[in-house]
Chains A and B, each alone.
Chain A
């Protein structure tokens, strides 16, 4: 247990010094911070557009955003987590396991009385704590910006929903961290170590949802999950690939947690897929053999 804590503490120190995760972290925090503002600007414009059409006698339809939840302003955060957050998690995972291989300090570490699972669990725990701190800070920023936009503190129920959303995001990011760490262990080159998980991310985020729903890649940059086509080949394909589309499952879970009226479905299966993705990654990581993590790099 002490070894795990020592590794976790060392990982936190190393993360503070790494530049690539830090730059991605800045981009991530900035985008999440401004996402509420973008949401508010857009919603206000849509309401004004609706008002103009009513004044001109062009429509009698109700304002589409009349009864929308304040959490709707933060809906774009979902896509920033899928894009920037997931990439940041991959980079953090890769650099974590690559660091000791590059510096050849892995042999020194393993000469101490520490088992490989404890070494890797410590790293994962350290990154987990780092991500938890970041997501907690981002959640506070989201809460404050929504409260300012809504001219009052967010209700307790909505605050809990927001906290729940970030908790699910934490599990999703940990799944990508595990993927990055595995790639950092198995790749023989640093560039390969970064590109393989990024390619897997692009398959999960773009290719699989497209096969299941025929949605084009750019339309998958939407914070709500793509709509499946009922009946026919796509319905069958969607049944097969949908559980593998972890990012689409995250969009579904987030939409349901934040009470987005555009998202339908049930929460439990989506949560199960996200937790399963993390569990599979963590088990594969902790099952790594001693010789494997000592593998030399080619460049």
Chain B
């Protein structure tokens, strides 16, 4: 246990000194903050258009009072969550891979294993360091976006909003840790480091970008700008009745989407933050009832990745001679 803590402390020190990693985390931070600013500006533009419309109605002598666009502050985080699921996962891979790659490249593994450390000390120490590093990074990112929403979006937060933000941050932490643990395990288990990087990059491309994109592309409602059913002027109940005839196609489409862990992360976080209209302003219990399967799938995958990293990061595998 003590040796795991020593390794974790040393890894955290290394991470703090790694200017490149700090730069890429800074890049993610800037991207998520820009995203909130853009969303807030878009809402401001919508509000201006509404005021102009109301003024025009008044000038024309109309007594009609159209509903004003309502700001739901947490919905401004949509782009930020999407950046975390795309870029966050990529940088998490780099962090996890780097933890083993640097030891192999500097040949320090022989030195570490010359000390009396336990079977699981090395992977436990490195994973603990990753968990702490991501905890700090996620806290900084969510702190920054919350402050940006408050300042740029002129939003006020209720206690329930704070709860939602904490749940979303914890989910992001699990998602990022999953990718780091997976990359760490791959770097340990493959003979050549480049093979680990190849597998990790192809997994990222497939799981984060390709599978969700195919699922999205196959959605009939996405085939026409503004939505197929809107263009056909079909009401929601009729839409559901028509789509019931295409259950097989929708099962395949949804199956493709849920085979991506990124989609589980997205669905759960969007529901918690009320980004998906169906869950907006709903109590957390209702959100959990609708999306518990996504949360469970994400955490099961995260634990599986951690288990994979612990089981594959062994002395035998790490000290193998590369071809």
Contacts and interface: CB of A to CB of B under 8 A. Distances in A.
Nearest to B30: A207
A183 to B, nearest CB: 13
B71 interface: no
Contacts of B213: 79, 83, 221
Given A19-B194, A19-B195, A216-B82, A52 B216 contact: no
B38 A299 contact: no
Interface in B202-229: 202, 205-206, 209-210, 212-214, 216-218, 220, 223-225, 228
Contacts of B42: 214, 229, 234
B296 interface: no
The 5 closest A-B pairs by CB, nearest first: A217-B82, A59-B232, A214-B42, A299-B105, A221-B213
Contacts of A76: 217
B90 A49 contact: no
Interface string A264-299: 000000000000000000000000000000000001
B246 A48 contact: yes
Interface in A83-122: 83-84, 87, 91
A218 B85 CA distance: 10
Nearest to B43: A214
B69 to A, nearest CB: 14
Nearest to B235: A58
Interface string B91-105: 000100110011001
A198 interface: yes
B78 A216 contact: yes
B265 to A, nearest CB: 12
Interface stretch (B117-125, B127-135, B237-245): B237-245
Given A207-B34, A234-B41, A41 B98 contact: no
Interface string A203-217: 000110011001011
B83 A58 contact: no
18 contacts: A24-B202, A27-B205, A27-B210, A38-B217, A42-B217, A45-B220, A50-B232, A56-B241, A56-B242, A58-B232, A79-B213, A199-B27, A210-B35, A210-B38, A216-B35, A221-B213, A229-B45, A233-B41
A299 B106 contact: yes
A91 B200 CA distance: 14
Residue among B82, B106, B195 with most chain A CB within 10 A? B82
Given A192-B20, A207-B34, A83 B205 contact: yes
B31 interface: yes
Interface string B17-37: 000100010010001001100
Given A42-B217, A42-B220, A299-B106, A218 B82 contact: yes
Interface residues of B, number: 60
Nearest to B245: A52
Contact of A64 (B98, B195, B216, B231): B231
A217 B79 contact: yes
Contact of B202 (A23, A53, A198): A23
A234 B233 CA distance: 30
B38 A27 contact: no
B94 A195 contact: yes
A134 interface: no
A20 B197 contact: yes
B14 interface: no
Contact residue range for chain A? 35 or more
B87 interface: yes
A191 B233 contact: no
B38 to A, nearest CB: 5
Contacts of B246: 45, 48-49
A83 B210 contact: yes
Given A49-B243, A195-B94, 20 more contacts: A27-B210, A38-B218, A42-B220, A49-B220, A49-B228, A50-B232, A52-B242, A52-B245, A53-B234, A53-B242, A64-B231, A65-B223, A87-B205, A191-B101, A195-B24, A206-B87, A207-B34, A210-B34, A221-B209, A221-B213
A69 to B, nearest CB: 15
B232 A61 contact: yes
Contact of B223 (A42, A58, A79): A42
A49 B242 contact: yes
A278 B83 CA distance: 27
A79 B102 CA distance: 35
Interface in A169-224: 189, 191-192, 194-195, 198-199, 202, 206-207, 210-211, 214, 216-218, 221-222
B180 interface: no
Given A87-B205, A210-B38, A19 B198 contact: yes
A91 B204 CA distance: 15
B86 interface: yes
A63 B104 CA distance: 60
Given A61-B232, A191-B101, A206-B86, A233 B218 contact: no
A84 B39 CA distance: 28
A262 interface: yes
